[in-house]
Chain A
Amino acid sequence: MHIPDGFLSAPVWAALDVAAVPAVGILARRTHASIDDRRIPLLGVLGAFVFAAQMINFPVAAGTSSHLVGGTLLAIALGPSSAAIVMVAIIAIQAFVFQDGGILALGANVFNMAIAGVFAGYLPYRLWGAKHRLLAIFAGATLSIALSAALALSELLISGVAISRSLLLLSIAIFGASAIIEGAITAAVVRAIDRLRPDWIRAPRASRSSTIFAFAALALLIVAIVIASTHPDGIENLLAVAPAQSSWMKKAAAGFFGIALAFVVCFGTAKVLARRRSA
């Protein structure tokens, strides 16, 4: 699900890179403000833990196996902002050191997995974590993977990566299954940690800005689903309205969507800043 370089069109990766810079800046500031010094090594070491945990295979149906992705587990353990920073670090190392995911596509991957994925994963826990802990964690991890995948898929579709209807349905089915598996794995791991040390996890904290971030992520999920489900008809209809159906128009449409995405991110971050100032 790490998008490699070469598939996203220039307007899409550029818009997401530009949007990711201030978003990561704000997350870093929030991380700096929210953690004490004792936690500085913790973020990196837990990032290494997420890497290493991928070596442990969970047997799923029919001889296949899967592994933990970890965004939601990190969000529960560290809070969403710090977890997002850890995910950004993971994505950066995977892109630079292991060529898993592109470098120009860093903005897209950060946005899909570290920002949208982590905050969507945290949302159900924040809302219902106190009462229905494991259920909320299961729902969060499922939502997290579903959202990341939907965003990645729509970014590829907008970039002109043609995917036929049957292959699209197949990939949606695969992503749906992996989302549910991540939910089950995360819930099982949290239950196992609870048994080892019942006092480890912090209770969901009432931070309004996190909730806003999470709702923005959820709104994006809906946007992404709409785009993915109407493609290719949706975008082609959009272009059919325009007089000339050239590749220039397609690029412009993609650029427009990128700007809209960037706007949503900037709007969300501005809201957060306003809240922090007034608080």
Chain B
Amino acid sequence: MDARIKLVALVVSLIAISITSSNLAFAVYSAMLVVLAAGTRISLGKLLGKAWAMLAFLLALALVVFLSGEPARAIIFLERSTLSAIAAMLFIAATPVNDLIRALDWFRVPNPLLLTIQFLYRYLFVISNQARQMRFAAASRGGFRFRSAAGAIAVLFMRSWQRADGIYSAMLARGFTGKFLQ
């Protein structure tokens, strides 16, 4: 399906969730999400398993409201936020990031921002791997101290900067004209 339609559907359902406070409606939304997940052959269990840290955060935030003497409201917040998060998870599981970026381009998201998002996503895993290696190396020496962690980040920063220069040269060599979505 077209990512633009999926994006609009996601936003519409998030808006519906955000203005709902009846438990019956939440039950209907949950059923719809389960059907949707079944239709796209995405395992909800797997998605939720991956997102346990985020769900724990939602639970903690709702717990704050609960402990502040508003238990009914806390439950509504928890229902809303969990359903919203599941809807967003289904969307991204069913939409390749490149399609999402193309949809955002169609919705007139400014070009400098889109280029930044594209480069960020492309190099996220490369630079994260670098950071992971540094962390591993530090752990085998007994872990980071405050100063050595700052030093590691400084090295990571300079390497990223140099990498960006190299990327630009490579782009020019391949005939880059200012936009790479086609």
- Interface secondary structure of A, over-half rule: helix
Residue of A31, A46, A90, A167 near B64 (CB, 8 A) is A167
Do A193 and B157 contact each other (CB < 8 Å), given the known contacts A44-B117, A167-B64?
A: yes
Q: Render A75-106 as a binary contact track against B, CB cut-off 8 A, 1 for contact.
A: 00100000001101110110111111011100
Q: Render B126-141 as a binary contact track against A, CB cut-off 8 A, 1 for contact.
A: 1110111011000000
Residue of B91, B153, B167 near A192 (CB, 8 A) is B153
A-B contact number at CB 8 A: 245
B26 CB, nearest partner CB in chain A, Å: 11
A residues within 8 A CB of B111? 28, 32
Do A52 and B127 contact each other (CB < 8 Å), given the known contacts A37-B168, A38-B165, A162-B73?
A: yes
Instruction: Count contacts on B: residues with CB < 8 A to the other chain.
Output: 80
Residue of B57, B61, B117, B146 near A188 (CB, 8 A) is B146
Contact (Cβ within 8 A) A99 B54: yes
Tell me if B150 counts as interface (CB < 8 A to partner A): yes
Residue of B18, B54, B121 near A100 (CB, 8 A) is B54
Contact (Cβ within 8 A) A191 B150: yes
Please provide the chain B residues from 62 to 84 with a CB less than 8 Å away from any CB of chain A in the complex. Answer: 64-65, 67-70, 73, 77-84
B62 CB, nearest partner CB in chain A, Å: 9
Contact (Cβ within 8 A) B65 A48: no
Q: Please, which residue of chain B has its CB at the minimum distance from the CB of A32?
A: B112
Contact (Cβ within 8 A) A6 B58: yes
Do A188 and B127 contact each other (CB < 8 Å), given the known contacts A96-B100, A104-B11?
A: no
- State the A residues within 8 Å of B (CB): 4-10, 13, 24-25, 28-29, 31-32, 37-49, 51-53, 55-59, 68, 73, 77, 85-86, 88-90, 92-93, 95-100, 102-104, 160-164, 167, 171, 184-185, 188-189, 191-193, 195-197, 200
7 CB contacts below 8 A, A to B, read: A59-B143, A96-B100, A97-B92, A99-B89, A189-B150, A192-B153, A193-B157
Q: Please, which residue of chain A has its CB at the minimum distance from the CB of B132?
A: A55
A194 CB, nearest partner CB in chain B, Å: 9
B residues within 8 A CB of A162? 65, 68-70, 73
The CB with the most chain B CB atoms within 10 A, among A56, A73, A197, is that of: A56
A residues within 8 A CB of B145? 59
CA distance A200 to B84 in the complex (A): 43
Do A51 and B124 contact each other (CB < 8 Å), given the known contacts A32-B111, A58-B144, A103-B14?
A: yes
Please provide the chain B residues from 134 to 177 with a CB less than 8 Å away from any CB of chain A in the complex. Answer: 134-135, 143-147, 149-158, 160-161, 163-165, 167-168, 171
Residue of B68, B118, B120 near A164 (CB, 8 A) is B68
Contact (Cβ within 8 A) B115 A43: yes
CA distance A40 to B165 in the complex (A): 10
A226 CB, nearest partner CB in chain B, Å: 21
Known: A41-B164, A47-B119, A53-B156. 11 other contacts (CB 8 A): A6-B18, A31-B112, A44-B116, A45-B120, A45-B123, A48-B122, A56-B135, A58-B146, A97-B97, A103-B14, A104-B18
Contact (Cβ within 8 A) A200 B161: yes
Contact (Cβ within 8 A) A192 B150: yes
B109 CB, nearest partner CB in chain A, Å: 8
CA distance A90 to B119 in the complex (A): 11
A171 CB, nearest partner CB in chain B, Å: 8
B4 CB, nearest partner CB in chain A, Å: 14
B residues within 8 A CB of A51? 120, 124, 127-128
The CB with the most chain A CB atoms within 10 A, among B69, B81, B151, B154, is that of: B154
